[in-house]
Amino acid sequence: MKKLLTEWLKPAAWGTLILMCAMSMGHAAENTQNTSDVPQPNVTAIKGGKCVENTEFMRKNHMKLLMHHRITAVHKGDNQLADKYSIINCVNCHANPKDNSVVGPGDFCQSCHAYAAVKITCFECHSSKPSATPSPFHATTSMVGATGKDPHATMVHYLAYHEHPQNLNSGLSAKDLAGVTQ
Amino acid sequence: MSDIDNYRRRFMTGVVGVAATVSLPAGLLFWQTAEGKSNDDAGLASAKTRWGMLIDTTKCATGCDACVRGCDQENGLSGKTSPTSPQWIRKVQVSNPSTGNGFSLPMMCQHCEEPPCVDVCPTGASFKRADGIVLVDRHICIGCRYCMMACPYKARSFIHQPVTDQLAEVPRGQGCVESCTFCVQRIDEGKTTTACQDACNAEGHQAIYFGDLKDPNSEISKQLAQYSSQEVLPNLDLHTGVRYQGI
């Protein structure tokens, strides 16, 4: 037993200490980021109000939602216009009326992607202009009523399909699903 | 039993315990996955349907290209017919040199049950949907054009030039292969006609039937049951979704 203490617990205690130090340093860095002079992207959402999910969720996960919809729409035949996570709906709400686009300089997608130096290849194929026939979805209306599809089921389908629910950190909590069903 | 053996025994028990703790949530995850997948297939492409087309060449008018124009408009194609322009439908004039008899027909992707384009695709971009529609996933297509060489109907086109002003519902861009999609954007919206069919009907020829081959009450199934029809190149055993009358 004594041997166990000396050989296992001691290094384990050291490891925990080091880990806690690292975590607290990371936390400190996070705190200083908001107050520093680091330039922030200047993003205009165009249409105000609620997006399909809350802003923080969308900032972190919009690419996952798009990737999901890319699979369901192309391979499974999901209705592009009815699914609120479709790229068509992004463009319809976020296109800048000045140039009728989301990818011009200062437009919604481009302003953040230029800041993050991430190339947007979506619009080499997808239209960067609002669709001619407006989609039945609007953020303030109920998805179930408009299309007969249950967004809660869509979300569960997404999480199941990708088999990594933990990556979509706030995805499956009761709070967020409540937000989805509105 | 020595101290070392005792120590080893405790250590191994601990390892097994940790492994069990780690694998239990993983197992739950898979269970959840299986349940999720069987959950909501409503409204998605299903194997209970097989979309197909019947073209009556006796009604198809020589010189008429309404279907081609309808397709171009629906899918945002340029309508040009140069060797490098994508064409989803081509009007073909066929004639028998020994008798002089000839007729005209539209030729497009035949939506094979066993598509050679899918067999040869190195990336999995070329695929057949559950409802029998053969498509290209442009996200995965690398533009190698093997599928174009494999297709016995010469139905596929490669986009050589950058594309601008695409339609929102039909994304298309340079570097990918594309072909007739049976107006998949319409089908996913719940419609049951294609643009070429509508254009043909508007022209008054009524030469194109489109519908569910697995539904015995659909117009196309009734037509197929009543009149003789043929695949193009039936010897290849591809079981095409497009059939022709009068060829």
Q: What length does chain A have?
A: 182
Task: Looking at the structure, tell me whether residues B17 and B115 fall in a common domain.
Answer: no
Contact B166 A127 (CB under 8 A): yes
Q: What phi-psi label fits residue B132: left (phi over 0), alpha (psi between -120 and 50 degrees) or beta?
A: left
Residue of B nearest to A87 (CA): B168
Report how far residue B245's alpha carbon sits from residue B206's, in angstroms, rounded to the nearest whole number.
Answer: 13
B46 belongs to a structural domain: no
CA angle (B154 as vertex; B153, B158 as ends), nearest 5: 145
B5 close to A (CB below 8 A): no
Task: Looking at the structure, tell me whether residues B151 and B235 fall in a common domain.
Answer: yes
CB-CB neighbors (< 8 A) of A82 in chain B: 189
Beta-carbon pairs below 8 A across chains A and B = 95
Domain of residue B223, CATH code: 3.30.70.20
How many CB atoms are closer than 10 A to CB A137? 22
CB-CB neighbors (< 8 A) of B169 in chain A: 80-81, 88, 131
Task: Looking at the structure, tell me whether residues B21 and B127 fall in a common domain.
Answer: no
B189 belongs to a structural domain: yes
Q: Per the structure block, which two tokens stand in for A151?
A: 């967004």
> How is residue A101 annotated by DSSP?
B
Task: Looking at the structure, tell me whether residues B76 and B26 fall in a common domain.
Answer: no
- How confident is residue A38, by pLDDT bands cut at 50, 70 and 90? confident
Task: Looking at the structure, tell me whether residues B147 and B84 fall in a common domain.
Answer: yes
* pLDDT for position B210: 97
For residue B14, give its domain range: 1-39
Contact B135 A79 (CB under 8 A): no
Task: Looking at the structure, tell me whether residues B65 and B167 fall in a common domain.
Answer: yes
Contact A128, A102 (CB under 8 A): yes
Contact A64, A98 (CB under 8 A): no
- How confident is residue B59, by pLDDT bands cut at 50, 70 and 90? very high
B44 belongs to a structural domain: no
pLDDT at residue A174 is higher than 50: no
Contact A127 B167 (CB under 8 A): yes
Task: Looking at the structure, tell me whether residues B151 and B216 fall in a common domain.
Answer: yes
Task: Tell me which of A80, A89, A92, A154 to substitute to probe the interface with B (most B C-beta atoms closer than 10 Å).
Answer: A80
Contact A102, A43 (CB under 8 A): no
Task: Looking at the structure, tell me whether residues B122 and B19 fall in a common domain.
Answer: no
Task: Looking at the structure, tell me whether residues B87 and B144 fall in a common domain.
Answer: yes
Report how far residue B179's alpha carbon sits from residue B171's, in angstroms, rounded to the nearest whole number.
Answer: 13
pLDDT at residue A21 is higher than 90: no
CB-CB neighbors (< 8 A) of B163 in chain A: 125
Task: Looking at the structure, tell me whether residues B190 and B93 fall in a common domain.
Answer: yes
* pLDDT for position A182: 30
Residue of B nearest to A75 (CA): B129
B222 belongs to a structural domain: yes
Handedness of CA A42, A43, A46, A50 (dihedral sign): negative
B83 close to A (CB below 8 A): no
B111 belongs to a structural domain: yes
Query: Whose CA is closest to B104, among B231, B202, B246?
Result: B246
pLDDT at residue B17 is higher than 80: no
* pLDDT for position B222: 96
B45 belongs to a structural domain: no
Total structural domains within chain B: 2
What is the distance between the terminal CA atoms of chain A, rounded to a whole angstrom? 57
Task: Looking at the structure, tell me whether residues B102 and B190 fall in a common domain.
Answer: yes
* Residue that wins the pLDDT comparison between A142 and B173: B173
Report how far residue B64's alpha carbon sits from residue B38's, in angstroms, rounded to the nearest whole number.
Answer: 47
The mean per-residue pLDDT over the stretch B74-79 comes to: 94
Task: Looking at the structure, tell me whether residues B73 and B18 fall in a common domain.
Answer: no
B182 belongs to a structural domain: yes
